[in-house]
Structure 1
């Protein structure tokens, strides 16, 4: 399998272009068969989401990767890993840091419980993203097997030559002549065939198909041998709903989010077409929003609650007795059921030194005018036109401090704040900190 690493909004060139075209995290030259497949299957068709779009650069047609991160494999065996664009650098250190950042975000958002992740050396992140994730999953299953596979009583019906369990009277009366000495019985048998083990079996089979690492393949085969007498799950959703979380199953808890992740029950994103391959892709905007929410949950001051994707307000209160244009801020902070702050998360590299595009002295820093309007609507409808609304962007070299406050009027203001992904904190002005966050979380 041929592997390539690129990041969001990078360019994919078709093999056969002049060799003078440079390749790095921002541009890769991939085989013609892979390029043609992406052009056909991943440009979106109205029903399926778009992963790439055609774009001309240096006189040649390229495919530009959009804001999805993760991994995709084409039918010809070309593996493309897409990393977050979190800095302007494109060297190997940026590749390793980008891979580490993505795994860190997936770990927090999907509850993958990678306990040793924070202590991991950068050498670990020289492996392709799927192999890092598969390796962590296999270690979790290995720990589970060491503590013992749980079994459960299952009702069995059988015809035996001896009486076992409960005699099925109706079935016994229907026995044909000459077979009255056989008993129609029902009994409980203690078997490992239970939903949790079926899902683990299915997940192990899936990662064995995906993995290209000899070490991961070896461990997956060893673990599959343990589950050999247990059927794989044929109904994922039904088995997940029956996953038990009682005291006897505590050592299974760490594996559940992994199974959901691997079996696509959390539905990150898949490509259209007949070939899906090893494809797990995540919209980076959504991943950043969910990551900020998970961090903020732990940093809220006492008495405040966080609600994601609130949907209780409309832009138009009444039109023909109906409300229109629902307003859904990313994050809403409340206290005593009263909204006190609205936050919207944007995965974009702002520039605190960027001048207004029209060339005057007013600075817009790369902010979207539509976002400014949207936050104003949130402030009016959720905060009653009084208070603060926030736009949260990733912190990087050219956005290290909060921007000067934008005042809509004397009652409502907009704060544009960086969020540091290295140590998980909001870069808020220490002299004017909001009451909803612990003071020791400030930069």
Structure 2
């Protein structure tokens, strides 16, 4: 199966050579990408279908069409001096880690060999992890629940359905309209697991994964086949009796629904499992900050606040609602607002404003006005051009306010002491203002 890899915001030229993609495959992937909700009005939100090359945008993931796949990996700076295959392998590993944190999954990436990270696409790695988890959990037994059944039986079982008895069996009283509860494996959770295994079998190109998915499909042979669009997600209740299925349920949702964005093209187009990096970075950082601040007396809210910038004169209806990425409170008071931005900033030597957009600053000034917080932070991914360590790079006082606005970065390529680094970043003492925002 031809497999192509391109990094976020990079180009993949058309052609038959190494580091190129044949034009017919490029056309397929571009058409599939246009069916994504991320495509936007112009249709190029995922891939720009240029005259000479495909250019990836700020969306990562995998597109499969026919016998070919295109993998878009994040633009994360890894250790220099390694081959592109080794660097892409390291990026895949970091992306899987980010997904695991964002989706609250426990994924042991150590069981996957370095060679597998290099040779397998993101989709095949996720399929392998799913198969491992599902096989291990099924060894403890398939979950069962009592479901209500209605059957016509020669002897009474459960309760007699009187209306049905006297409408259907008036002339044949030898049959009884029974209503009873039956402990069954044919429940919503198992139907979702079967649908995920069948879907992945249709797109996996790795023989080992195909074999394991066929075995899993056989295990679910007696479970009803339900189209993905008809699956009853709301009927699944995760409680103490089936807690071990919580992560598998989240992974099935990842494959079958659009949590960050999973789309299935129609008319044989293929499958696209895509993630908007802005949303993924925000969820990843937010969950880690919540862990890092545990036990400090501070509480963390993601996408909280939701105050309005304006109020209509003729009604109480608010206009232009705000949704700060991360709110940090001590008691009931908001002490810190953090907004994450998946974009590269420059060093202060290259640009005093570090490439921070005016719109981002205006957004933070609105937060200062609405949430009355003493501290605001714009948090970006770190890269080597900013220095060896992730830290607060600049602090400014907002004109006319006591509020401090910071620009800071966190290195997502380095998982060592991540919680401690975030904790140190957030628990700084109140900084002194160094200049004004004009």
1:161, 1:125 → 2: CA distance? Answer: 60
Contact kept? 2:8, 2:59, Cα under 8 Å: yes
CA contact (8 A) 2:152 2:175 kept: yes
Q: 1:331 aligns with which of 326, 330, 347?
A: 326
Alpha-carbon spacing, 1:232–1:112, altered in 2? closer, same or farther (3 Å):
farther
2:251 to 253, 258, 270: 258
Matched, 1:222 2:215: yes
| Cα distance in 1 for residues equivalent to 2:354 and 2:231 | 49
CA shift at 1:404, angstroms? Answer: 3.0
Identify which of 112, 115, 124 aligns with 1:123: 115
Q: 1:83 aligns with which of 68, 73, 84?
A: 73
Correspondence for 1:355:
350
Q: For 2:423 and 2:44, how far apart are their aligned partners in 1? A: 39
Residues 361-376 of structure 1 mapped to structure 2, 5 A cutoff: 363-376=352-365
2:308 pairs, out of 314, 317, 329, with 314
1:119-141 per-residue CA deviation (whole Å, 9 max, x = no partner) reads 64433312211111011111111
Q: How far is the alpha carbon of 1:170 from its aligned partner?
A: 4.8
CA distance in 2, matches of 1:325, 1:172: 59
The structural deviation recorded for 1:381 is: 2.2
Structure 2 gaps of 5+ residues are 431-438
The within-5 A match list for 1:109-120 is 109-114=102-107, 116-118=108-110, 120=112
- The match for 1:359 is none
Partner-residue secondary structure (3-state), 2:123: helix
Q: Quick check: 1:396 aligned with 2:405?
A: no
- CA apart distance, 1:429: 11
Q: 1:420, 1:427 within 8 Å by CA — same for their partners in 2?
A: no
Cα distance, 1:40–1:91 mapped onto 2, change above 3 Å: closer
Shift of 1:226: 1.4
Q: Distance in 1 between matches of 2:105 and 2:6?
A: 24
Give the secondary structure class of the aligned counterpart of 1:135: helix
Which TM-score applies when normalising by structure 1?
0.83
Q: Secondary structure at the match of 1:46?
A: coil
- Between the aligned partners of 2:425 and 2:121, the Cα distance in structure 1 is 44
Q: Does 1:302 align with 2:296?
A: yes
Change (3 A) 1:429 1:331: closer
Distance 1:163 1:80, change over 3 A: same
State the partner residue of 2:205. Answer: 212
Stretch of structure 1 that moved more, 288-297 or 331-340: 331-340
Please tell me whether the aligned partners of residues 310 and 330 of structure 1 are also in contact (alpha carbons under 8 angstroms).
yes
Instruction: Provide the residue aligned with 1:37 in structure 2.
Output: 28
Query: SS state of the match for residue 394, structure 2?
Result: coil
Superposition deviation, residue 235 in structure 1: 6.7
Change (3 A) 1:339 1:45: closer
The Cα shift of 1:11 comes to 0.8
Q: Tell me, yes or no, if structure 1 residue 249 matches structure 2 residue 238.
A: no
Aligned residues of 2:394 and 2:408 also touching (Cα < 8 A): no
**Is residue 2:56 matched to residue 1:69?**
no
- Quote how far apart the aligned CAs of 1:276 are: 5.0
- The number of aligned residues is 412
1:254 aligned counterpart, secondary structure: helix
Deviation at 1:408, TM superposition (A): 2.6
Instruction: Give the CA deviation at 1:290.
Output: 0.7
Whole-Å separation in 1 of the counterparts to 2:86 and 2:187: 45
Instruction: Report if aligned partners of 1:72, 1:277 keep a CA contact under 8 Å in 2.
Output: yes
| 2:11 alignment counterpart | 11
**What are the Cα deviations for residues 95-154 of structure 1, in whole angstroms up to 9, with x where unaligned?**
11111111110111112321x225644333122111110111111111121001122333
Provide the rounded CA distance (Å) in 1 between the counterparts of 2:188 and 2:56. Answer: 38
- Bigger shift: residues 233-242 or 218-227: 233-242
After superposition, the CA RMSD in angstroms is 3.0
Q: How much does 1:51 deviate?
A: 0.9
Shift of 1:65: 0.8
